[in-house]
Structure 1
Amino acid sequence: MTVLTLASGSTIRATLLRNAGVEIDIRPARIDEENLRESLLAEGAGPHDIADALAEHKAMKIAPHAPLVLGCDQILECDGRIFAKPDTPQDALAQLDALRGKTHRLHTAAVLYAAAQPVWRHVATPRLTMRHVSDAYLQAYVTAQWDHIRHCVGCYQIEGPGVRLFERIEGDLFSIQGLPLIELLSILTLRKDIDG
């Protein structure tokens, strides 16, 4: 089995891969995501393409240093607006308020590099509809969960209490968590990077 280098510091992605039996090495790629995202927006790129480009830049940054590298990114889009990770609990509250009662899309991208060349890419786009939760519930949720949601686009973790925010989910749970795992495992098996 080939060791997969994850160009991300995401603990949930690492956990998903380890739980699937994939041997990983973690090397977070340091790229200027905000400037790259703004540049792509200025060029007219949509959220699908932005997620894909950010994932590729992360993989590309680490690819010269490892034989098999996975870059990932996730963009949340609602009503034509792209959301970033919150800086403060107040930002999180404002984002959740903007998502309340609406359906949003998570563009979850993964790009695989082998021998410093891109060999596979995939963008999954699950749709999530948030319930009309009360202001008091949102405030209590952000206060209790801030340490867990501060690094999450959308300010929720579907694998925890954040699931209570939703009335409908379309798409697979792995992609909502930030990794199109089933599709990735398929290509890794096909390439014989993992047994199967």
Structure 2
Amino acid sequence: MSLSHALLGLLIVEPRSGYELTKAFEADIGRYAWQAGHTSIYPELGKLAEAGLIEVTHEGARGSRTYAATDAGRDELRTWLLRRPQQSKVRNEDVLRMFLISALEPADAITMLRGIAQHTAAGAAELRQIRELNGPATQRGPAGFGLLAAEFGLRQFDAIHGWAQWAIEQLEATADGSQDGAAARSVG
């Protein structure tokens, strides 16, 4: 993902000023998907305008500008969203930690996994509350923006939480010397 595509998406949903875009990145987008501050947002807005992907629709007091996506900007975002993701470099710190968990002593691994389980349970609870407060994810426009992403995040949290609970059971069973019983429980 790139900052330019995030900005295009926000501006397609509704025209905004650089200040309003910065606030959006301080809220859910920055918390869950992509962080950016005003020092990177404002220069990127200039590049997008220069490329004809956005335009200034209103100039206000003290030089504030409201931006909106152009048809070319809409086309660019659509092309980017529909393109199959290509990962030339994979860098996922969480997955790397899971690969390396066996380097820990079992008690430390269990402590780590319990932390993951607690974190994901709290994240899932927060996203469930957002979903309940905002209605169906099928809404278009500002009211529905992010609800599909919230559901995606909720399902990720639930999946990781379930995996962490399973991994704790496996490690505890190994520590108890009853690995065969744990394997039988996980299959049945």
TM over 0.5: no
Higher strand share: 1
TM-score by length of structure 2 reads: 0.22
Higher relative contact order (CA 8 A, sep 6+): 1
TM-score by length of structure 1 reads: 0.22
Which one has a bigger Cα radius of gyration? 2
Higher helix share: 2
